Chain A
Amino acid sequence: MTPLYATLVGIAMGFFIQRVRASSPGMIVRNLRLENLSVIKFMALTMAVGMILVYGLSLVVPSLLHWDIKPTYVLGVLLGGLVFGVGFGVGGYCPGTSVVGIGEGRKDAMVAVAGGLVGALVFTVVYSVLIAPIVKVMDFGKITLADVTHQSPIVVALVVGALFLVVIKLLPTEVKQTT
């Protein structure tokens, strides 16, 4: 059933991304310049709702959840994030939003996916020599904020979720530009 569920999730996700204009590279860059925060608030709200729901579900039906916590190898995760951010700022696309953009008929999204495939090819070729030795530095394994703070996961989810909601409420969506 996974292919069916995953396809349906993808269709809904692509629809949501298109509706909030996150598949528009111009909108992404306006968010990164902090001129408009709608996509950032969309992401933060998604995470707040998701974490409260999923940790809530873990109290009720813990055996039904398919967790997949990614390992925290600090150097590689941070380095990868920094490289990703430059690409995000230059092109205005993520690996997922570019695919949504192709669905909308954007040609620059096709070029971004082509760039991504070349990036994946180069990564595959240099992985053993360049990447594998450095990325595993400071690997703390599959840890969550609950593990680090030694608190109950649902409490951490509620606190972090509430914090996100407060920040979302306080931040403007359209930021006034003075210049």
Chain B
Amino acid sequence: MSFSASGATAASKHRFAPWAFYGVLFGILGALSILAWGPIGVSGTYPRFIGEILGAVAPGYAESNAYIQKVGHLFSKGETFVVIGLLVGGFLGARLNREKAPACEMIHPSEKTPARRYRDAFIGGFLIVFGARIAGGCTSGHIISGITQLSVSGFIFAAGVFATGIFTAKTLKGRHLATGA
């Protein structure tokens, strides 16, 4: 057991922290992806999905909308298949390791009921996609793939994300402590 060959799982459990083990694998995956078809990205899939729906219910509007035309069709992009894969990968990761994720995970002291948690998840979801679309990418496209390619935009985006991300997360914890609830 002491050396190598007992396999990746044993290595991940006994010799490396999961973040280190999977960080190396994800780095290799990102490079392979650029070799196979292109850098990993996710957030463009959201407006492409909306574009398909609008194309079905209001084709005239969809054709005249500059952004829908700009992002293109849902299944013309590799990204869409990455997103489908994410769904499967998340399922497999939890299932193969017999983990049961909480249906509703409270993350801030103010989230005392599921309704408050769902409200925060909705607002958060809205802002991450809206912000990502202003910038032209998200954690995957701008930060992981962008910085991997040494793109200046990736560094600027990451600086913005962590500035308000850290501030927001700390404030939402601190406010609760200040009110003594």
Contact = CB atoms under 8 A, between A and B. Distances in A.
Interface residues of B, number: 122
Contacts of A13: 26, 29, 40, 82, 85-86, 89
Interface string A37-76: 0110111111111110111010001001111111111101
A25 B79 contact: no
A121 B27 contact: no
Nearest to B29: A12
A116 B128 contact: yes
A14 B131 CA distance: 22
A53 B140 CA distance: 17
Contact of B103 (A54, A105, A160): A105
A91 B121 contact: yes
Interface in B123-142: 123-142
* Of A23, A50, A83, most B-chain CB atoms within 10 Å: A50
A102 B90 contact: yes
Given A19-B22, A20-B22, A105-B100, A84 B131 contact: yes
Given A51-B147, A81-B157, A115 B152 contact: no
Max chain A Cβ within 10 angstroms of own Cβ: one of B79, B104, B121, B143? B121
A121 B68 CA distance: 10
A6 B78 contact: yes
A96 B35 contact: no
A178 interface: no
Nearest to A107: B103
Q: Could you tell me the dominant secondary structure of chain A's interface residues?
A: helix
A16 B19 CA distance: 9
Interface string A68-94: 111111101111111111111111111
Contact of B89 (A10, A72, A119): A10
Interface string A141-179: 011111110000100110010000000000001000000
A146 B107 contact: no
B139 A6 contact: no
B133 A123 contact: yes
A94 B139 contact: yes
Given A77-B157, A86-B127, A106-B101, A68 B86 contact: no
Q: 3 closest pairs, A vs B, by CB?
A: A91-B124, A10-B85, A14-B89
26 contacts: A4-B81, A9-B33, A10-B83, A11-B86, A15-B90, A16-B26, A18-B90, A20-B23, A25-B105, A43-B139, A46-B26, A47-B143, A47-B148, A73-B136, A84-B164, A97-B139, A99-B42, A108-B104, A108-B121, A117-B46, A118-B125, A119-B46, A119-B128, A124-B50, A144-B149, A144-B151
Interface of B: 12, 17-20, 22-40, 42-43, 45-47, 49-51, 54, 65-68, 75, 78-94, 97, 99-108, 117-118, 120-173
Interface of A: 1-21, 23-26, 28-29, 32-34, 38-39, 41-51, 53-55, 57, 61, 64-74, 76-109, 111-125, 127-128, 131-132, 135, 140, 142-148, 153, 156-157, 160, 173
Given A17-B90, A81-B135, 15 more contacts: A10-B82, A42-B22, A45-B19, A45-B27, A54-B34, A66-B37, A68-B38, A95-B42, A96-B140, A99-B86, A100-B93, A104-B93, A119-B133, A144-B149, A146-B150
